[in-house]
A and B are shown apart, each in its own frame.
Chain A
């Protein structure tokens, strides 16, 4: 990718981008949908998908929530207590 192409990708904004506040408002809904079916999440919340693609802090928060959802699912699948496993220490 040439320098100008990369610059263009960085500067290009997505008009569907809903911003941080709206993204954080629906983050738990978007995260659960993403954990179940990422394509469905993107198609139902294109503005949130556009946002987390270019906002580092919101993408970080989404990644954290996704990891917790997956840890809970793993615990539910593998153990009967359904509890979130303790953080690795």
Chain B
């Protein structure tokens, strides 16, 4: 990890080399100096050991992942329509699955973070995907009439003059209908107008978070270009 808590002086100096590493994460390792902290080294050594030492390390790791999963599930409990044992089950399942991933990918750990941070990432991602599946299961998106009147609320617009909201909705709707592919339109309507979380929508559409984000990203750009071309956003362009 970049800041070794046991030895703050070991933190690499800021400078050109670190700035040059921006956007090239594969170079981070080279600029870190490669020294693993003691706790991470111990984790790697004991998990690679034989017999009782490895068993004990696995038990410790599972305990750590279980506690991390409970904490993460508790943090996200507000997104779930359930409490009690179902939350406990979800956390335990996430910890078990994260355990399998961590042990299976030990060889891929590059020491670019503390070992525990790397392991927690698997917990967070497992909880994330299980929460999305839970939400999809209990509250699957439904295909309904496109409700354009929801747009101002979804964008968090304050109480605007009715005429402003009407013009804005009309302009966006025209851009969506003219510029987006059918697929992009479907994703935009579900994610923006219906407020379906991307992870939940990904399950519904058999897609991925990344693919849907990219679709929305392209849609936002195309809609904006159209609104600029139509003269709705031109003053803002000049301001910036």
Q: Which residues of A contact B (CB under 8 A)?
A: 1-8, 10-13, 16-22, 24-29, 31-33, 36-37, 40, 43-47, 55-58, 60-61, 63-65, 67-69, 71-73, 76, 82-89
Contact = CB atoms under 8 A, between A and B. Distances in A.
B189 to A, nearest CB: 15
A27 B214 CA distance: 18
B121 A28 contact: yes
A64 B220 contact: no
Contact of A19 (B70, B168, B213): B213
A80 to B, nearest CB: 13
A55 B71 contact: no
Contact of A26 (B25, B123, B158): B25
B236 A47 contact: no
Nearest to A84: B67
Contacts, number: 167
Given A28-B120, A65-B121, A43 B198 contact: no
Contact of A7 (B67, B125, B172, B210): B172
Contacts of A26: 25, 28, 112
B227 to A, nearest CB: 7
Interface string B89-133: 001000000000000000000001110111011011101100010
B136 interface: no
A32 B117 contact: yes
Interface residues of B, number: 65
A44 B22 contact: yes
Nearest to B118: A28
Contact of B22 (A12, A32, A46): A46
A37 B111 CA distance: 19
B168 A61 contact: no
A32 B112 CA distance: 10
A61 B117 contact: no
B67 A3 contact: no
A82 B76 CA distance: 24
